[in-house]
Amino acid sequence: MRKAYDQQVESITADLVEVTRLVGSAMNRATQALLDADLQLAEAVIDFDAKVDILTSGIDERCFELIALHPGVADLRLLLGAMRISSSLERMGDLAEHVAKQARMRHPRIAAPQAVRATFAEMGGLAEAIVSKTGSVIATQDISLCVDIARHDEEMDRLHRELFTIVLSPAWKYGVEEAIDVTLLSRFYERYADHAVSVSKRVITIITGEPYVAVSLTD
């Protein structure tokens, strides 16, 4: 009984790590689709999100069943934490899909104009780094990595602000439509990083028992 429970918990953890890999790949490809106005790649990312949804809702169901089938034995902190993590990862998948949809909507024009191309490429790289470390935190429970995640998130916030400066500068030679695209896209990357931070904080609450609201990664 206990062994089956332990195996289930291991398999839930492995699946959460797998989902970080999937939503990382989704954001990576969404960024490519955005920078190259690659319609096929954008479509692929959009279709792919259903896979993330199925995996995360499967994780939720298994957490629920474990709590129900092992009352008084199941580690609530771990399993409820896993459900919250799954929900953040699912949302990260949605945000990658949003980037891809924006790329698709403007095709064949590139939704990210030349002046902000480098910044979005950088945001894509940061998203990749942050989600890969998030996967490592879940897999290894090495919460020292959470500080790196927080630093990446700060850098993402800085790029998010930088984009507003670029769009609002007198040198902005594009129109209102391009400004709206940049605003929305930038917000998707920024929220993606926020969710990764949220996941890393959940891992800390699982390991330390500290309440979520009290977890601070930067001080």
Q: Name the residue type at position 115.
A: A
CA separation for the pair 90, 219 (Å, rounded): 28
Residues 97-126, one symbol each (x = binds its own copies by CB under 8 A, - = not), give ------------------------------
Nearer to its own copies, 124 or 188 (CB): 188
The tokens 């330390």 sit on which residue? 208
Residue of the chain from 4, 118, 147, 168 that contacts its own copies (CB under 8 A): 168
Q: Does 131 bind its own copies (CB under 8 A)?
A: no
User: CA angle, 41 as apex, 40 and 46 as ends, to 5°?
Assistant: 95
Q: Does 212 bind its own copies (CB under 8 A)?
A: yes
The DSSP letter of residue 166 is H
Q: Does 164 bind its own copies (CB under 8 A)?
A: yes
- Name the segment binding its own copies (CB under 8 A); options: 13-21, 116-124, 131-139, 163-171: 163-171
Decide: 177 and 63 in contact? Cβ < 8 Å: no
Decide: 96 and 23 in contact? Cβ < 8 Å: yes
Q: Does 9 bind its own copies (CB under 8 A)?
A: no
Residue of the chain from 6, 36, 47, 61 that contacts its own copies (CB under 8 A): 61
Nearer to its own copies, 52 or 129 (CB): 52
Decide: 28 and 124 in contact? Cβ < 8 Å: yes
- Phi, psi dihedrals of residue 112, rounded to the nearest 5°: -105, 105
SS3 category, 146: helix
The tokens 């996941």 sit on which residue? 199
Closest by CA position to 182, among listed 128, 117, 104: 117
For the bound state, the minimum distance from the C-beta of residue 40 to its own copies, rounded and expressed in Å, comes to 26
CA separation for the pair 142, 149 (Å, rounded): 12
Nearer to its own copies, 36 or 161 (CB): 161
- Name the segment binding its own copies (CB under 8 A); options: 3-11, 132-140, 145-153, 171-179: 171-179
Q: Does 1 bind its own copies (CB under 8 A)?
A: no
Q: Which residues bind its own copies (CB under 8 A)?
A: 53, 57, 60-61, 64, 67-68, 71-72, 76, 80, 83-84, 87, 164, 167-168, 172, 176-177, 179-180, 183-184, 187, 211-213
